[in-house]
Structure 1
Amino acid sequence: MYSAIAVYLIAFFAYCMEWTFGSSGAVAQRSADLAVEVREPVAAAASGGVALAERPIVVVRDVGHDGGDVDDQGNVANGNERADRIGRVAVSLTVLGFLLHAGSVLTRGIAAERAPWGNMYEFSTAVSMVVVAAFLVLLWKYPVRWLGLFVTLPVLTTLGVAVTVLYTDSDQLVPALNSYWLWIHVASAIVSFGAFHIGALASILFLFRQKHESNLADPAKSTDGRFDNMMARLPGSASLDKTAYRVNAIIFPLWTFAIVCGAIWAENAWGRYWGWDPKEVWSFITWVAYAAYLHARATAGWKGTKAAVVSLIAFACFLFNYYGVNIFVNGLHSYAGV
């Protein structure tokens, strides 16, 4: 595990170097084009004649790219080769760190002769592994290397807390956890938590990118600062908003499945499906928060800032459900221990 943390740390610094030197890096995605909505007069049928109506169209205005041509997807061609090379090294280090990380989780399970997520330390290491795995899967399908910097930072933070504060020696499970549902229920929660991390990161980056685009739209505001230069390398705010929605929408059914499995497991272990245990209550609150986010997107058409805020509130509920409830609240799930 310490080897994985060391490799992740080197990868994090490599991503930082790519962002520092890659002002026009090809995979840094310097998407400084500003999408401007204008209204074009069109003819519309009306009773007794023809009337003029307006329809919104989107015009992309190039605001400059200090070296490098932008293609249709926002990638910068002929960019800084050094930054691109550093970025590729960072990805290779991330893969190596992931292999070491997965090996640590696997050997922990072999040593304990059970599923390697029976306490908070093991759960934290498994969740952070899923976060990296989700990033690598996205990177395999889409050009999202720019996300590496923002993935490795929370992963390093989670692992740092795990090995310093949450660590417990490998031991056998309490009787309530000694069930095949541990593999189903907790594994589903781990994958959900890891994927929701990616959705939350996309929502946070959306808010910063939207602020940058509003600065670009206002001639009175300067966009030459370090913050604006950094935000200019992200995809457009609409793309980040869509990414957050897709990740949360895809993983929400799995989180629902995890809650249902937990209720079934509770009936097997304690003779009831629901007992108002703090962990059960906050799991349901988290489910309601994500359901509200998806419902607002699908029915009310919420996009942009409103949707991002609701998404982050839902993720905050998930974080409190894991750290707050497990550490500060006593209940039937307190056996997860620190």
Structure 2
Amino acid sequence: MAVYTLAFFAHIAEWVFGSRSKVARTAAALTAKRGSDDSGDREREEPAASAPAVTVRKGGSTSVLERPKAARPKVVVRSAAGRRGDLPDGPGAAGGDEQGDLYGRVAVSLTVLAFLLHASSVLARSLSVERAPWGNMYEFSTAFSMVAVGAYLGFLLAKKNVRWIGLPLVTTVLLDLGLAVTVLYTESTQLVPALDSYWLWIHVSLAIVCGALFYLGFVATALYLFRDRYETKLLAGGTPSRWATSVLERLPSASSLDKFAYRVNAAVFPFWTFTIVAGAIWAGDAWGRYWGWDPKEVWSFITWVAYACYLHARATAGWKGRKAAYLALLAFACFLFNYYGVNIFVTGKHSYAGV
């Protein structure tokens, strides 16, 4: 958590210094005019004016030397042009200028270090209990945040423009780990016989991975709503506040955020479906019935229905934009209630695992 805290402050520095720099807006303008691919990082240098030549006389001969071109500030661009009107993607929280980008690279490096320590702690817990380290809410929470950070770093490794996720992700991880080590902490213990099954590795691990990726889709959807309102105001001729401009100019365009959220949710949905099926099979082995309308089963199904409605509306009704975004937020809220609300406030067959 200490290293995540350092990464949090580095991300803050990245956004603050990048937002103060006019180079960020220059980067967005260059992206809009020239277009670019979204496969990776690149740098452009502004052309330097030609310097006057220097004449050198030595002996009886004369030679002309060109003066070296003056160095110009580099503009860091990491995102392709947007599709909505003339509004391009912002630098994608990639620094805007070299100073801001430096803070961003420090933040990512600290996040990698924190992730390695985080993964080591989950492994240590597994060795301590001699089983899968997600048998209660404390273990689930630590594993959940670890997978979310791992997915984020995986996107970065694949050269995706997702640096904008870094600040909200690290903030959420700190809150999640703080809650885990205070309210949800549970000593290392063995599970009841019903949970001592290889399905613990399949069913619960899938639930963790799906939830972590659903979370990344949620972040993109929430930021999309802010960026969409900002773009709508700009296209209508309005003038957003300086704070909104300094922050939202650093995000990808609304269409890019919407596309990212949709692709993540669509890719994860089949795995969430299998998670529910795997849980039903495990319930048949442990309790002698595949479905018993247990609160956890019911809310897992409600979450599945909510995401199915979101994907169906996008595919058939043509719901793109704010309507679909509200459905996606509702679906993730169902997932959160299924995890926290059902486990803490509702009693069912899944309650024997304890907090």
Once the two structures are TM-superposed, the CA of residue 146 in structure 1 deviates from its matched residue by 1.9
Once the two structures are TM-superposed, the CA of residue 255 in structure 1 deviates from its matched residue by 0.6
**What is aligned with 1:164?**
182
**How do residues 310-321 of structure 1 correspond to structure 2 at under 5 angstroms?**
310-321=327-338
Once the two structures are TM-superposed, the CA of residue 228 in structure 1 deviates from its matched residue by 2.3
TM-score with structure 2 setting the length? 0.80
* Correspondence for 1:151 among 149, 158, 169: 169
Once the two structures are TM-superposed, the CA of residue 79 in structure 1 deviates from its matched residue by 4.4
Distance 1:306 1:173 in 2: 43
Describe the superposition over 1:200-233 as per-residue Cα deviations: whole angstroms up to 9, x where unpaired. 00000000000110121122x3224212220111
* Correspondence for 2:192 among 174, 178, 191: 174
* Correspondence for 2:127 among 96, 100, 110: 110
* Correspondence for 1:120 among 117, 133, 137: 137
Q: Percent identity?
A: 63
**What is aligned with 1:278?**
295
Q: Does 1:87 align with 2:104?
A: yes
Once the two structures are TM-superposed, the CA of residue 34 in structure 1 deviates from its matched residue by 11
TM-score with structure 1 setting the length? 0.84
* Correspondence for 1:287 among 304, 308, 317: 304
**What is aligned with 2:157?**
140
Look up the equivalent residue of 1:190 and give its one-letter code: I
Distance 2:325 2:258 in 1: 7
Distance change in 2, residues 1:255/1:32 (3 Å)? farther
Specify the SS of the correspondent of 1:333. Answer: helix
Distance 2:8 2:105 in 1: 12
Distance 1:302 1:206 in 2: 15
Look up the equivalent residue of 2:153 and give its one-letter code: L
Quote the RMSD (CA, aligned, Å). Answer: 2.4
Once the two structures are TM-superposed, the CA of residue 336 in structure 1 deviates from its matched residue by 2.8
Once the two structures are TM-superposed, the CA of residue 252 in structure 1 deviates from its matched residue by 0.7
Structure 1 unpaired stretches of 5+? 36-66
Distance 1:78 1:323 in 2: 36
Once the two structures are TM-superposed, the CA of residue 153 in structure 1 deviates from its matched residue by 1.1
8 Å CA contact 2:145, 2:173 repeated in 1: yes
8 Å CA contact 2:27, 2:96 repeated in 1: no
**What is aligned with 2:116?**
99
Specify the SS of the correspondent of 1:229. Answer: helix
Distance change in 2, residues 1:173/1:27 (3 Å)? farther
**What is aligned with 2:147?**
130
**What is aligned with 1:48?**
none
Look up the equivalent residue of 1:12 and give its one-letter code: F
**What is aligned with 1:253?**
270
Distance 1:29 1:120 in 2: 47
Distance 1:138 1:149 in 2: 15
**What is aligned with 2:252?**
235
Distance 2:269 2:23 in 1: 33
Aligned length: 302
Once the two structures are TM-superposed, the CA of residue 176 in structure 1 deviates from its matched residue by 1.0
Q: Which moved more, 1:222-231 or 1:95-104?
A: 222-231
Once the two structures are TM-superposed, the CA of residue 150 in structure 1 deviates from its matched residue by 1.4
**What is aligned with 2:68?**
none
Q: Which runs of 4+ in 1 moved over 4 A?
A: 24-35, 67-79
Describe the superposition over 1:73-126 as per-residue Cα deviations: whole angstroms up to 9, x where unpaired. 446599421111110000000000000000000010011000000000000000
